[in-house]
Amino acid sequence: MAEIGIGIIGGGYMGKAHAVAMAAVGAVFDTALRPRLEMVCASTDASAERYRKAFGFARATADWAVLVRDPKVEAIVIASPQETHREIALAAFALGKPVFCEKPLGASLDDSRAMAAAAKGQISMTGFNYIRTPASQFARQLVASGAIGDVTWFRGEHTEDFMADPNSPATWRTLGDANGTMGDLAPHMINAALALIGPIGSLIAEVETVHPTRPGGVVTNDDHAQMMCRFANGAMGQMYFSRISHGRKMGYAYEITGTKGAIKFDQEDQNALWLYSMDEPEATRGFRKILMGPAHPDYLPFCQGPGHGTGYQDQIIIEARDFLRAIETKTPVWPTFQDGLDVTQVVTAALASSRAKAWVDVAAF
C-alpha cells in the first residue's frame, strides 16, 4: 500500500465531491494506492483556505500553476471552469502527472483535441460519473452480452428544471456555449449513448434558446436541444437535452430496444433497471424491475444488502477507484481524454447541424 498526493483544482460542487471521494475510496475499495489530500486550489487565497479546512487538505493555493508544479502533488483533478481545462492539463502532462478532468473535456473542440493529443502515453480520465452507477454498468454488460439481441433503437435524455422558471436570473450558466445545455447536460447522455451502443455516424439536431433574456441580462446559450442519429452499427437513435423540463430533477434516462428484448433506466430511480425479454412466457411477459444488489457491478463495496442502494457520491468514489487503478497499473481506464474528445465531437456536430438545418457526418468534425 502506497500513498499518492492528490491536488484538486476547484473547491465548489465537484471539487468537494472529488475531495470526499479521494478521502473515502481507500476504505471503500481497499485500493493499493491511498490518496493523500495534498493541495486544493480555488480562485482566491481565502476560498482556497476555506476549502482546505473543510475538506482536510494539507495546503491551499489560489494559483493552479503552483499546485501543478508542486512535487508532492502526484496526480491532479481538474474541477474548475471549462475554459481553464486545456492550460492546466497540458501543464500537468508536461510534468508527466496523471490528470482527471471533469466534463466537458475542453471549452471547445480545439481545446479537447489539444488535450487528447497531450494525453497520449499518459494517464487521463474524463469525468462522466452517471454511467458508473451499478445499474448502468449492468446495462452495458447486458447489451454487450447480447441479452437483448442486436440493438435497433436508442432513446436518451438528460433533462433537468433548474432554469425552467423564466424569471430565474441570468448567471454564468446563461453565458457561453460551454455552460449551455449542449455543453453542460448533453455530454453525459451522449457519453452514455457511445458507451451503451457505440459510435455515432451521422445526426441531425435542433438547438434552441427558449428564454433569450432573463432578469439581469441576455442569455447567450441554449435551453434545450433534440437530436436524431444513426449509430455506426446501424441502430437508430433519438436524444433530448433540457434545463427547462419542469419536474425533472435528474432526468438522465434511456431506453434500448433490441431484437430479443429491451432495457429502461432512469437516474431518478438509479438503483433499478427494467429488463424485457421476449423469451418469457406470453402470460407473464413484461418489463421486470431489477433492484441493484451485491450481484451487480461495484455495489458490494458500498453495501451488502440488495435494494439498499447507492447514491451520487458513490459514483464519484467509483471514478476515484478507476483513476487510482489506472495510475497504479499504468494502463488507461475508460473514459480517457480521447473518449471525452469523442463526446465533444458529437456536440460540435450537433451544433453545426442545427445551424445548417441538415444531417451531418460526425467524422467531418
Residues 95 and 136 both lie in one domain: no
Q: Is residue 323 part of a domain?
A: no
Domain that holds residue 158: 131-309+343-356
Say what the pLDDT of residue 152 is: 98
Specify the number of domains making up the chain. 2
Residues 300 and 159 both lie in one domain: yes
Mean pLDDT over each residue of the chain, to the nearest integer: 97
Q: Is residue 324 part of a domain?
A: no
Residues 166 and 39 both lie in one domain: no
If you average pLDDT over residues 184-197, what whole number do you get? 98
The b/e string for 158-183 (b: 16+ C-beta within 10 A; e otherwise) is bbbeebbeeebebeebbeebbbbbbb
Residue 279 is given by DSSP the state T
Residues 116 and 237 both lie in one domain: no
Say what the pLDDT of residue 69 is: 98
Q: Residue 104, preceding bond cis, omega within 30 degrees?
A: yes
Residue 295 is given by DSSP the state T
Residues 15 and 30 both lie in one domain: yes
Residues 138 and 124 both lie in one domain: no
The enclosing H or E element of 109 equals: helix 109-119
Grid cell of 60 as nine digits: 491551499
Q: Is residue 317 part of a domain?
A: no
Could you tell me if 149 and 233 are in contact, meaning their C-beta atoms sit under 8 angstroms apart?
no
What CATH number does residue 140 fall under? 3.30.360.10
Please report the sign of the dihedral spanned by the C-alpha atoms of residue 25, residue 28, residue 33, residue 38.
positive
Say what the pLDDT of residue 120 is: 97
Q: Is residue 316 part of a domain?
A: no
If you average pLDDT over residues 309-326, what whole number do you get? 98
If you average pLDDT over residues 220-245, what whole number do you get? 98
Residue 52 — very low, low, confident or very high, per pLDDT cuts 50/70/90?
Answer: very high
Residues 88 and 236 both lie in one domain: no
Main-chain dihedrals φ then ψ at residue 306, nearest 5 degrees: -60, 140
- C-alpha 36/C-alpha 336 separation (Å) is 23
Would you tell me how many other CB atoms lie within 10 Å of the CB of residue 297? 17
Q: Residue 335, preceding bond cis, omega within 30 degrees?
A: yes
Which residues contact residue 357 at a Cβ distance below 8 angstroms, ignoring those fewer than 6 apart? none
Residues 124 and 144 both lie in one domain: no
Residue 220 — very low, low, confident or very high, per pLDDT cuts 50/70/90?
Answer: very high
Which residues contact residue 77 at a Cβ distance below 8 angstroms, ignoring those fewer than 6 apart? 6, 7, 8, 9, 15, 18, 22, 99, 100, 101
Q: Is residue 327 part of a domain?
A: no
If you average pLDDT over residues 226-242, what whole number do you get? 98
